[in-house]
A and B are shown apart, each in its own frame.
Chain A
């Protein structure tokens, strides 16, 4: 099993550009989430999903969209990138038992 796979690993965007961070898991987990990690802080929840077709907002959802058309995939879209969105982004998945598995992260810089 590959676990949770995120692409790309690194990305530089110009202010105002849009992009999609990809996340896929092969563990048949129902729950998937996106977090961002900023220096000196823990991870903060952006959006989460409890199953295909169901998504909800976390603590810091502004500027981000998600969709969950399949169990395996949970892409995160930045509609119009801003310097405040410079961060490291983590995708995670878990089963009903709750143990969270994380992807390798995407380091995003917005200039």
Chain B
């Protein structure tokens, strides 16, 4: 199966800072997604982004499928952005084969 590497593993920022999280895949993926796990453990889907660029408010994501990586950008960080960010993907269509997750980036935004 595919391997997913995320960097950095930990990140501590002040409120208002910008950040870039990276996700590398060992092979091509068809179903790349980014998730945020809040401090209460809830997993929220941020982006479904097998290729290209998407934006949602202060968050945006870019996937370069040919080079097997994806980036998540967080601008003007707020304390509510704290938590763990996961990327995940699979090699099947839709969610058929289940997702392989990276180990996550633990983000702490300090006031």
- Which A residues fall within an 8 A CB radius of B? 30-31, 33, 35, 40-45, 48, 50, 58-59, 88, 90, 92-102, 104-105
In the assembled complex, the Cα of A42 lies from the Cα of B101 at a distance in Å of 6
A31 contacts which of B1, B33, B95 (Cβ < 8 Å)?
B95
Q: Report whether A45 and B100 are in contact in the complex, using a CB–CB cutoff of 8 Å.
A: yes
| Residues in chain A near residue B93, CB distance under 8 A | 96, 98
**Are A43 and B42 interface neighbours, CB within 8 A?**
no
Given the interface pairs A43-B88, A100-B99, the reply to whether A94 lies near B94 with Cβ below 8 Å is yes
How far, in whole Å, are A102 and B45 apart by their CA atoms in the complex?
A: 8
CB of B45 within 8 A of CB of A43, answer: no
Instruction: Say whether B4 faces chain A, with CB atoms less than 8 Å apart.
Output: yes
Say what secondary structure dominates the interface of chain B: loop
Contact of B94 among A41, A88, A97, A104 (CB under 8 A): A97
The smallest beta-carbon distance between B10 and chain A, in angstroms, is 11
Q: Which of A31, A42, A88, A99 is within 8 Å of B96, CB to CB?
A: A31
Q: Is the CB of A42 within 8 A of B4?
A: yes
Asked if B98 contacts A90 (CB within 8 A), the reply is: no
Assess A48 versus B101: contact at CB under 8 Å? Given A98-B48, A99-B48, A104-B42: no
**Do residues B103 and A98 form an inter-chain contact, with CB atoms below 8 A?**
no
Instruction: Report the interface size for chain B: residues with CB under 8 A from the other chain.
Output: 25
Residues facing A in B9-42 (CB within 8 A) are 31, 33, 35, 41-42
B94 contacts A59, C-beta separation under 8 Å: no
The smallest C-beta distance from A24 to any residue of chain B, in angstroms, reads 17
- Report the minimum CB–CB distance from A39 to chain B (whole Å): 11
Contact A43 B86 (CB under 8 A): yes
Question: Is there a chain A Cβ closer than 8 Å to B104's Cβ?
Answer: yes
A93 — which chain B residues lie within 8 A by C-beta?
Answer: 95
Q: Which of B36-80 contact A (CB under 8 A)?
A: 41-43, 45, 48, 50
Of the residues A50, A95, A98, contact of B33 by C-beta under 8 Å: A98
Contacts of B88 in A (CB 8 A): 42-43, 100
- Contact at B94–A40, with CB atoms within 8 Å? no
Q: Chain B: which residue is nearest A103 at the CB level?
A: B43
Alpha-carbon distance A97/B33, docked complex (angstroms): 12
